[in-house]
């Protein structure tokens, strides 16, 4: 389900993410200070990563929104992939730091204090992160924003981090096994390490001009098939080949060859190409189409 609220744009939500990160840093740092829990410390450390990632993400979304210029004729949309990759690196770094801080507590557990206040503050901060992540994911899908999606998934990871920490602390309180605090922190670190690796992989694929997703490609193919069918009913042969797509942040590109009867005038061919570009843009908002018009049976010297 996507949102249609015009206020909920990726940049505005990223700014909200910065504010929420500052709030949760305060809450989680207070929780760690009150309890002395290494699990809550790991939770607070990840919130600092949330803040850095949101600030960098907002910067990259601002860059990505800039129009094309002489030095960047295809626009700046790929800036979003830098945000996603940066966030993945931060997540991996904080996971390593959490494991480093938690390992000594496995064989030298420490007494925990003021657990009631610590857990309450952790739950409140997780509620803020969970609500924001839910809204951000909806907007990321409607705007096809990888930077916003990366930040939302990181916030969800933070929520699961808190859940794991709270569960570990609850078990430590019930059983008296204080080493469960450190074990929960290490488990959380391994989980966010996996999420960081996923973000790095996805950002690298985007920077290497990955093809458009299957849904986008199917909508493009449907438009082309409809045009072919319409021309067939008019007893005219129009074909398409060498259809190539790529995705760059919120933008999609398609290159293709349109083969027309050699007897068509240039004006008639240009009219059909303009109609096709309009239909493709309606089917895939933000799509940039590059259509090469050729006579039937002819191919360019370098077709690909």
What average pLDDT does this structure show over 72-95? 72
Extended strands (E) in 44-117: none
The more confidently predicted of residues 151 and 302 is 151
260: in domain: yes
Do 18 and 67 belong to one domain? Answer: yes
Three-state SS for 250? Answer: coil
CB atoms within 10 A of CB 256: 18
What confidence tens digit (pLDDT) does each residue in 8-38 have? 777 788 888 888 888 988 888 888 888 877 7
What confidence tens digit (pLDDT) does each residue in 160-173 have? 777 777 777 777 77
Do 29 and 45 belong to one domain? Answer: yes
303: in domain: no
245: in domain: yes
* pLDDT given for residue 222 in this prediction: 94
Helix-strand-coil split of the chain, %, nearest 5: 70, 10, 20
The more confidently predicted of residues 80 and 197 is 197
Could you tell me how many residues make up the chain? 304
What confidence tens digit (pLDDT) does each residue in 111-129 have? 666 667 777 888 888 888 8
What average pLDDT does this structure show over 265-281? 93
Do 289 and 165 belong to one domain? Answer: no
183: in domain: yes
Do 159 and 233 belong to one domain? Answer: no
| d(C-alpha 191, C-alpha 193), whole Å | 5
Do 277 and 176 belong to one domain? Answer: no
List the CATH number of the domain containing 271: 3.30.70.1350
Do 229 and 80 belong to one domain? Answer: no
Report the number of distinct structural domains present in the chain: 2
- How distant, in Å, are the alpha carbons of 3, 40, 154, 157, 215 from that of 49? 27, 15, 9, 12, 33
* pLDDT given for residue 35 in this prediction: 80
Do 196 and 259 belong to one domain? Answer: no
Helix or strand run (H / E) with residue 295: strand 287-295
pLDDT band for 280, please (50, 70, 90 cuts). very high
Which domain covers residue 114, as residue numbers?
A: 10-207
* pLDDT given for residue 207 in this prediction: 66
Given a contact cutoff of 8 angstroms between Cβ atoms, the answer to whether 94 and 208 are in contact is no
300: in domain: no
| d(C-alpha 272, C-alpha 233), whole Å | 15
Given a contact cutoff of 8 angstroms between Cβ atoms, the answer to whether 164 and 188 are in contact is yes
Do 198 and 226 belong to one domain? Answer: no
Q: Which of 207, 235, 259 is the last residue of a domain?
A: 207
């Amino acid at each position: 389900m996507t949102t249609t609220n015009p206020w909920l744009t990726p940049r505005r939500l990223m700014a909200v993410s910065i504010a929420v990160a500052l709030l949760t840093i305060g809450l989680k740092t207070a929780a760690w200070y009150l309890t002395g829990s290494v699990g809550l410390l790991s939770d607070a450390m990840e919130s600092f990563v949330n803040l850095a990632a949101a600030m960098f993400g907002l910067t990259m979304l601002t860059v990505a929104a800039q129009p094309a210029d002489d030095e960047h004729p295809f626009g700046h949309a790929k800036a979003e992939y830098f945000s996603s990759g940066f966030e993945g690196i931060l997540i991996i770094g904080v996971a390593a730091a959490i494991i480093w801080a938690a390992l000594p507590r496995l064989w030298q557990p420490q007494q925990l204090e003021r657990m009631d206040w610590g857990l309450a503050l952790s739950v409140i901060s997780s509620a803020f992160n969970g609500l924001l992540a839910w809204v951000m994911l909806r907007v990321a899908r409607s705007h096809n924003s990888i930077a916003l999606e990366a930040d939302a998934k990181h916030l969800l990871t933070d929520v699961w981090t808190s859940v794991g920490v709270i569960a570990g602390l609850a078990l430590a309180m019930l059983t008296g096994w204080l080493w469960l605090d450190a074990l929960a922190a290490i488990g959380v670190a391994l989980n966010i390490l996996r999420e960081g690796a996923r973000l790095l992989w996805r950002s690298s694929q985007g920077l290497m001009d990955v093809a458009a997703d299957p849904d986008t490609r199917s909508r493009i193919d449907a438009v082309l098939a409809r045009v072919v069918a319409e021309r067939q009913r008019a007893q005219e042969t129009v074909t398409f080949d060498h259809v190539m797509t790529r995705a760059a942040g919120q933008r999609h590109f398609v290159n293709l060859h349109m083969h027309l009867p050699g007897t068509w005038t240039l004006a008639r061919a240009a009219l059909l190409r303009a109609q096709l570009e309009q239909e493709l843009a309606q089917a895939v908002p933000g799509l940039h189409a590059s259509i090469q018009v050729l006579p039937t049976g002819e191919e360019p010297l370098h077709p690909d």
